[in-house]
Structure 1
Amino acid sequence: MHSTHLIVQAIRFLHSRNNRARAHHTPRFAYLFAPAPDGKVPLEETIQEDLHDYLDGNLENADIEVTDRSGDRADIEVRFPGFTAVIECRRTKGRSPRKGLRSYLGQAVAYQAGGITLGMPVILDLTPKPSWITNFRDDMWADHIPSPVPEQRDRWAVVVRVPGNRTSPYDMTTPAPAQ
């Protein structure tokens, strides 16, 4: 039941960030938009800090950079009564179809050795977006990760792909009609 709260907050976060406009918000959200010609693309920490602050304000028990999680360090840990969930934050500058993002799933679910079998990678997609961005329903999905060892449980990931490096609708190119 508590994992539902986390998934709902992830949906709300994605929806909120898809609707941000560059001109009407603080520079904190600049990571969502195409950088200036001489600017640098944002690092993973940018989305990690934004998501952490969002979850900490809405779920109250979120920590960042938690050590001793399945032998490593967790980007974001969200605690609920009886279990914790770990969110792995990444960024990609290359092609980012669902299949291409599967390489991030193993690490995201590996953190769940001491908890539920659900991981959550949140990936900042920095591929250029000269036309419209994807609908937020296409940027979040569940994925099944079979266990590499038959005696162990399979795991699941709720993948969140946040579209960054985008232009405003006013500046977008119009896709040519299909012929």
Structure 2
Amino acid sequence: MSLAPSFTTAVGLCGILLACGFCRQPNVRFFSFITIFNRRKKLTPYGARVYLTSVIVVLLGCMLQALSSGGRSGLPACDATDTQNLLQQAFDGSQFARAENLSLIEASDIKELPGSNQSMRACQAQVSLNNASNAQVTYKMVRHGDNVLLTVHADDIPDDGQGDN
């Protein structure tokens, strides 16, 4: 997450405080409530422009923050296509899967596990493997800069090839 959106919002808030503190009309108290609609009555013409510009900067900073966070946590949903592709790459690239010559075919019954928070999302899925068996996997996603790190834990992968779990 970048500091630019929160910095932009902080600069806007400082501008609002400076305009209200130093550019007010003589008969207006420092702590009076100033809105966008009454700014011309309570602030000098220069202060009204600074106030309006600062409000726009605050709104821009809030929008940038919302866009950079990407929703709830900036992590993709458990059942998103990108997440399923990442899960397949992580599973197929694991040392266990390569040693056992396994490949993930499809993930189903995907659900988000309790305990997920803003910085980590835990999910569980039933996966079909290339040896005609099914397995239960738990995977966790964590945002690291602009990347999503995914760790996979497979539970009880049958190796008999009969497909029973």
TM over 0.5: no
> Which structure is richer in relative contact order (CA contacts within 8 A, separation 6 or more)?
1
Query: TM bucket by the smaller chain?
Result: under 0.3
Larger Cα Rg: Structure 1 or Structure 2? 2
Higher strand share: 1
TM-score relative to the length of structure 2: 0.27
TM-score normalised by the chain length of structure 1: 0.25
